[in-house]
Structure 1
Amino acid sequence: MRRNILITGASSGLGAEMARQFAANGHNLALTARRTERLDALRSELVERYPQISVVTHSLDVTDHDQVFKVFRLIDGELPLDRIIVNAGLGKGAPLGTGRFDANRDTALTNFVGALAQVEAALELFRARNAGHLVLIASISALRGFPKTVTTYAATKAGLASIGEGLRLELMGKPIKASTIYPGYIRSEMNEHVPKAPFIVDTETGVRAMVAAIEAEKAKAYVPARPWWPLAQVMRVAPLPLLKRMI
């Protein structure tokens, strides 16, 4: 069992719900985010409900790369980490060329460069002990290019998925494992402004599928598996006119 888990971006949405479900499974947790007041509230909730586990919290802005390395090392000293979940991310964006480079830049810096810093910091710890499980939270949008406000977001998640595959090639047959999780449409704070999305599920249901895939240490998982596993196979090969109707 991967006893001690670090989750970044744990103050809300999928990260907070993963914390709740991993706590229910008996894992000790290290939770990071920029909004420490939410982390503190979540910690209080978890230790009251599950007094047998340890929960530590730390402020972390993943775009501060020096801080990423510092905080990961600090947490590992408090709670030797068996699994690190790279979850922190932004969902904002705008169609390219419409004057909102700032929004697309922030998403790229957080979701890809910030994630890269987390991967580097995690692998530094895991390589030192030749053990560990790295989990990358990508998105079903990583499978193909997406239009308009999602173009940059999808590109960052595709980059993250590529990192995961590269690591699996490098680490094949070794004790360090890397998983890439591709959530479909799961209701969260990030997408609460989206009125409708195909096959969307509530946060608890979607995260339950994510946690099951992570606990099983699947190399890749499209979650929830129904309908996203079969849809993923179609999305990979669909011609653009069909893809546009699907998304």
Structure 2
Amino acid sequence: MTRTILITGASSGLGEGMAREFAARGNNLALCARRTERLDELRDELLGKHPGLTISVRALDVNNHDQVFEVFREFATEFGTLDRIVVNAGIGKGQPLGTGNFAANRQTAETNFVSALAQMEAAMEIFRAQNRGHLVVVSSVSAVRGMPKNVTTYAATKAGLASLAEGLRVELVKTRSPIRVSTLYPGYIRTAINEKVRNAPFIVDAATGCKAMVRAIESGKAECYVPSWPWRPIGFLMRRLPVAALARLF
């Protein structure tokens, strides 16, 4: 059965990579991001490889919250139904607290949490009307604990996003809703957002990471570390290490 998948932040990085993987699996795509020229190029590339698919693109700045609702609704009307929505758009501009970089931390918090909340609201509005759907949120391994320095605000936003998803899962289980919610915790995957990071442990290239992300999404599990090895055991340990031990690691 052909499904329709909406992906935000699809013009580069993980969003672009997941679009390629989902297209290869025969899915129709609703792709949105700020850089429409990149989206047009990606659509043309994917239709060249998979001419039987329907791929629609729209401009979206996720920090324009009214536009989030408009674009999601337009995609739902165009396709008739949306089977899966991947909340992927995000940035990593955080800086150590108290170093005069509040603007960068605020932008990170607003984009990664408040704008993700808007995307989740818009997605759930559609899924509740359909009484079905699969919401996927892209968090981070850094969400499992408080992180120091440049990652402090980023990690906090990703923890908040994971908490939103978990709270929604609790609600949906309680109401016996058929809607599913999954949280991904990617480890280090080489994309533009972290291209300047040096000595990142266990880093994988974007193609490898995106294949693992799509496999995790297709599994339908509530929570997945990506790639599972070694990030699942690392995540388990990070949740339990004392703060002094974390400080030595970072």
Q: CA shift at 1:241, angstroms?
A: 2.3
Q: CA shift at 1:174, angstroms?
A: 2.0
Q: CA shift at 1:55, angstroms?
A: 0.6
User: What residue is the counterpart of 2:195 in the other structure?
Assistant: 192
Q: CA shift at 1:209, angstroms?
A: 1.0
User: Any idea what SS the aligned residue of 1:76 has?
Assistant: helix
> Equivalences for 1:64-83 in 2 at 5 Å?
64-79=64-79, 80-83=81-84
Is contact 2:6-2:30 (8 Å) kept? yes
Is contact 2:2-2:28 (8 Å) kept? no
> Amino acid of the residue matched to residue 54 of structure 1?
T
Which deviations, in whole Å up to 9, do the C-alpha atoms of 1:21-77 show, x marking residues without a partner?
A: 000000000110001111111011000011111110000000101000000000111
- State which of 215, 218, 222 in structure 2 corresponds to 1:215: 218
When structure 1 is superposed on structure 2, of 83-92 and 170-179 the one drifting more is 170-179
RMSD over aligned Cα, in angstroms?
A: 1.0
User: Any idea what SS the aligned residue of 1:29 has?
Assistant: strand
Cα distance between partner residues in 2 of 1:67 and 1:2: 27
Cα distance between partner residues in 1 of 2:67 and 2:102: 25
Q: CA shift at 1:208, angstroms?
A: 1.0
User: What residue is the counterpart of 1:226 in the other structure?
Assistant: 229
- State which of 238, 241, 245 in structure 2 corresponds to 1:242: 245
Is contact 2:2-2:26 (8 Å) kept? no
User: What residue is the counterpart of 1:53 in the other structure?
Assistant: 53
> Amino acid of the residue matched to residue 239 of structure 1?
P
User: What residue is the counterpart of 1:11 in the other structure?
Assistant: 11
Q: Flag as ranges the 4+ runs of structure 1 deviating above 6 A.
A: none
Cα distance between partner residues in 2 of 1:48 and 1:194: 34
User: What residue is the counterpart of 2:128 in the other structure?
Assistant: 127
- State which of 153, 178, 181 in structure 2 corresponds to 1:178: 181
Is contact 1:2-1:83 (8 Å) kept? no
Cα distance between partner residues in 1 of 2:145 and 2:78: 40
Gaps of 5+ in 2: none
> Amino acid of the residue matched to residue 44 of structure 2?
S
> Equivalences for 1:133-152 in 2 at 5 Å?
133-152=134-153
Gaps of 5+ in 1: none
Cα distance between partner residues in 2 of 1:73 and 1:225: 34
